[in-house]
Amino acid sequence: MATAATNGTALPPPAAAAKVQPAPAAGETNVSAATPGPFDNIRLQGIFYRTGSPLAIINGKTVGVGDLYHGLRVVAIDRHSVTLALDGEQKIFKLN
């Protein structure tokens, strides 16, 4: 194997073999490729609780019961939590 070209300069080293990651087996999912669900990016930032018309702050937007936020319906607001729903699935978000 030659280490120098005819003009006296060094040749670059041979290219390293490309590392190939195996494809996931049947039934497995690639976690890094999973897209976030509709509930994953929700941040409950505050609750203004009143018995007549409670409000909540979700990702900087003020919403009330019955309002839509990015396709999620506000189902309930109580003193410490907010319930959001989408296609029959409900999730409760609590203040920390």
> Which domains does the chain show, CATH number per domain?
37-94 (2.30.30)
Q: Are 38 and 91 contacting, i.e. CB atoms less than 8 angstroms apart? A: no
Burial class (CB in 10 A: 0-12, 13-18, 19+), 82: buried
Put simply, whether the predicted model's pTM sits higher than 0.75 gets the answer no
Output the pLDDT for position 83. Answer: 97
pLDDT class of 63 with cuts at 50, 70, 90: very high
